[in-house]
Structure 1
Amino acid sequence: MIIKKIFNNNAILARDLDNNEVVVMGSGIGFKKSVGETIEEKLVEKTFILKQKDASEKFKLLLEHIPSEHITLCGDIIDYAKNMLEVELNDYIYVTLTDHISNVLKLFDEGFTNPNPLIWEIKKFYPKEFKVALKALDSIEEATGKRLPEDEAANITLHLINAQFKSASNKVEDVAKQTKMVQDILNIVKYTFNIALDEKSISYERFVTHLRFFFQRLNKKQELEDTKEDDFLLKQVKAKYKEAYECMLKVEKYLEVALSDEEQLYLTIHIQRVTQR
């Protein structure tokens, strides 16, 4: 690999044998080096190849302002998340999560913390991601000696959820808002039927999953296409599951959007299933 730019003693920008632009990190890897020189392979500890150009550019900017140890720490956290969650994460996670954690550590030194009012909902709706985030707190403590509060695990969880969607236009704030809206919809169902929902049931899990992806479509203004078959099925479901249909209309009113026949159909069926005693 050939050095293209030196950020600091521990981080450089280089080109590999396939002519890919990569960020390479390692203790002393840039010390007394010059652009155009070859990297000593034995000094390489971590390599970042970001395929999304915009994410790559922002990541390089980040390297100029954030301690390299924070970059390495967050890279390890992201690698762990990928392995445990077994999902693809958008390249922007390297920018957003690294920037977030580095800023949190700085604020922590100044005596500030960032409470998350949705921690209870986040724990409930995203248990796998929250478990990974708790492990991230362990890694942060091991690397820095600083134990961040559990609220910070909730904040990290939102970054992990956001990175599971391909579009880079999503914001962590949107995920937080959607999490609250999922809880609001569950409350509408709960109070309409005057029952406690079985949060361990498959129907509950499917309903929450449907709502999560429904909000992604809503956020991107993507609508499912209506067909005559959907209209026919909706009429059948409306007649068979009157209470569930009426509850769906309350949800539609809460959302303040006109739902397609297919969305109405799926929501009604999910509501019927999750409320079956």
Structure 2
Amino acid sequence: PAKHLEIEVDKIKANPGEHVDLELLRKTLKEKHYTAVTLTHVDTSTGVLADVETVSKILQEVSPETLFIVDGVCATGGVKEEFDNWKIDVILTGSQKALATPPGLTLLTFSKRAIEKRNSIKPRTYYGDILKWIPVMEDGTKYFATPSVNLFFALHQSLKDIFDMGLENYFKKHEDLARRVRNAMNELGLKLVAKRPAPTLSVFLYPEGIDDKTFRGRLKDHGVVIANTLAELYGKGFRIGHMGSITKDELLVAVSKIAETFEELGVKVSKGNVINAFLS
């Protein structure tokens, strides 16, 4: 996307499962001025939870004029994101993850200086330009384009449910489900990829001898769909979400079927121990 928009970027990459090197970030910011720094709060491919607060502190210390943009797609709603306190300029996310709404909505939050920056540059998009939408948000009688009204109602209901539960309780729900799933997979001997795992999803590596397509295909026959791993980890493991509206009972079924599938493929499994680990 950056190349398509003719934006020059430098990448600081981490090894799969690891957090970006914060001292390398500090050094890079000292050596060169950047208009913006982008960070993925939860990496969908590995399940790593980024230390957004510390990255923000480094930015404020070394390059306070640099905009801080956070990808919250797998985080927002399931992980604490303190927009003002962490001096974030833009958070972008989707409706379909921890916010427990059908896919189709892009949600963005802008700081005052991010809007000022937008005012100072030539737009690169039309429909997605925040300046086109601000008048509509300020006055619902104004028109720019027809939005997905049905999804707005779905999001409104989901947010109501979340705040009725209480945001802190909603965070704790994600932490509890993550712990249960990881306890169960640990009983199966599966290795968690992330060294700093997020509470919204988990990524596990297969034991030796398990073929990815065979495993996920057999599991799908049992009524459970999980995602394949990506990039360098492609074919080496699977990803399982435990965010949004998913329940403990639904995950118990998934964990049970995962254990059964491994057993069918020749892995020695104590299904009772796996279930007890999840329930404990």
Give the TM-score normalised by the residue count of structure 2. Answer: 0.24
Larger Rg: 1
When you count helix as a share of all residues, which structure comes out higher? Answer: 1
When you count strand as a share of all residues, which structure comes out higher? Answer: 2
Higher relative contact order (CA 8 A, sep 6+): 2
